[in-house]
C-alpha cells in the first residue's frame, strides 16, 4: 500500500487511498505520522454525495471535522490519481467542500462558512467554528507577533487550547497586522498539541473574524504562516459570511510503501 507524504504551506500529512479497504484509521494515523512527524493523516474513500470522502485524523489518532490545508492536499492527490478533473467536491465531517486546481502546485478549497462567529467570546479572543459540526478556533491579536515568540507564548497557547469558554477545545490562533491586507499568524493545534507550520482553517477562521469586525474591507487577506503564505477570500453581505476560500501551495514530498 502506497502512502503519500504531502504538505500544504508546511502543514504536513500522510495520505492514502482507502477505497475498498477495511483499515483502522486511528491506529494508522498514530503510526504513520510518527514516520515523518506529520501533523495529520488523511484517507480518501468512496462517497455517495461527493467526488470522494475525506477521513481526517490528527497525529494523536483523534478524528478532526475538517482540515483546510489537508483538503487542498487531498484535492491534488485525487487529481493526480486521475479520480477527478480540475474541479471537485469533497465530503467531510464538517460538510461538503468544493476544490479547484489552479496550477500544478496551487489548489483552492471553499471552506465551510462559520456556524459560530463570536467576536467577544473571552476578553482575549474571538471564537469561530467553521462548518457544522464546526472546526473550533480562537483568534487573538498579539501586536508585533514574531514566530520566534512561540515558546514565550506556549503556556498561553495551551490555556486557549483548553479554555472553558470553548466547549470542544480550540485551535489557538495568534496574529499581528503586517499591512492593511496581510497578517502574520501562529497556530497551536488541538490533536497535534503543538504549533504547526500552517493551519488552513485557522487562517480562514482568523480572516472571518477580522472581516466580521470590519477590518478586511476588500475581502482578501494574505496570511503569512511559518511554512508559507495562504490567501483567504471572504464573501458576504451585512454581517453574514456567504463564502470563504483558502488558496495556497501543495507539495508531494515522498511516497512510502507500507
Would you list the DSSP string of 133-164? TEEEEEEEE-TT--GGGHHHHHHHHHHHHT-T
Q: Residue 99: is its pLDDT beyond 90?
A: yes
Query: For the residues 217-239, what does the mean pLDDT come to?
Result: 95
Q: Residue 238: is its pLDDT beyond 80?
A: no
Q: At which residue does the C-alpha cell 493545534 appear?
A: 189
Cell triple for 188? 497551536
Catalytic residue, chosen from 33, 73, 75, 199, is 199
8 Å CB contact between 9 and 258: no
Report pLDDT for 131: 87
Report pLDDT for 135: 87
Cell triple for 38? 506529520
- Is residue 199 part of the annotated active site? The answer reads yes
Spacing of C-alpha 30 from chain mean position:
19
Catalytic residue, chosen from 33, 67, 73, 75, is 67
Spacing of C-alpha 100 from chain mean position:
16
8 Å CB contact between 76 and 6: yes
H/E stretch holding 206: helix 200-212
> 36-84 pLDDT, tens per residue?
999 999 999 999 999 999 999 999 999 988 899 999 999 999 999 999 9
Report pLDDT for 258: 85
Report pLDDT for 81: 96
Report pLDDT for 95: 87
Residue 115 CB coordination number (10 Å):
15
CA atoms within 13 A on the CB side of 99: 35
Query: For the residues 99-103, what does the mean pLDDT come to?
Result: 98
Report pLDDT for 191: 87
Mean pLDDT across the chain: 95
Helix (H, G, I), strand (E, B) or coil at 71: helix
> 135-181 pLDDT, tens per residue?
899 999 999 999 999 999 999 999 999 999 999 999 999 999 999 99
As a whole-number percent, the residues of the chain with pLDDT over 90 amount to 92
Rounded CA-CA distance 25/29 in Å is 6
Residue 180 CB coordination number (10 Å):
10
Query: For the residues 90-94, what does the mean pLDDT come to?
Result: 93
Report pLDDT for 6: 97
Cell triple for 23? 483499515
Amino acid at each position: 500500500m502506497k502512502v503519500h507524504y504531502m504538505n500544504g504551506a508546511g502543514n504536513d500529512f500522510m495520505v492514502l487511498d482507502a477505497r475498498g479497504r477495511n483499515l483502522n484509521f486511528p491506529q494508522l494515523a498514530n503510526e504513520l505520522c510518527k514516520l515523518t512527524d506529520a501533523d495529520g493523516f488523511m484517507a480518501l474513500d468512496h462517497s455517495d454525495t461527493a467526488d470522494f470522502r475525506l477521513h481526517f485524523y490528527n497525529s494523536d489518532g483523534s478524528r478532526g471535522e475538517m482540515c483546510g490545508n489537508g483538503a487542498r492536499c487531498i484535492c491534488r492527490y485525487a487529481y493526480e490519481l486521475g479520480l477527478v478533473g480540475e474541479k471537485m467536491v469533497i465530503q467531510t465531517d464538517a460538510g461538503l467542500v468544493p476544490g479547484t486546481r489552479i496550477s500544478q502546485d496551487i489548489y483552492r478549497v471553499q471552506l465551510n462558512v462559520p456556524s459560530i462567529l463570536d467576536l467577544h467570546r473571552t476578553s482575549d479572543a474571538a471564537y469561530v467554528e467553521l462548518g457544522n459540526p464546526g472546526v473550533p478556533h480562537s483568534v487573538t491579536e498579539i501586536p508585533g507577533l514574531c514566530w520566534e515568540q512561540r515558546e514565550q507564548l506556549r503556556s498561553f497557547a495551551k490555556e486557549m487550547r483548553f479554555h472553558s469558554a470553548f466547549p470542544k477545545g480550540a485551535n489557538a490562533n495568534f496574529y499581528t497586522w503586517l499591512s492593511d491586507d496581510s497578517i502574520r499568524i501562529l497556530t497551536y493545534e488541538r490533536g497535534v498539541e503543538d504549533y504547526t507550520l500552517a493551519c488552513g482553517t485557522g487562517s480562514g477562521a482568523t480572516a472571518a473574524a477580522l472581516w466580521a469586525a470590519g477590518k478586511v474591507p476588500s475581502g482578501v487577506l494574505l496570511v503569512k504562516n511559518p511554512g508559507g503564505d495562504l490567501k483567504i477570500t471572504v464573501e458576504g453581505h451585512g454581517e453574514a459570511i456567504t463564502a470563504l476560500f483558502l488558496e495556497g501551495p501543495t507539495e508531494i514530498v515522498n511516497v512510502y510503501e507500507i
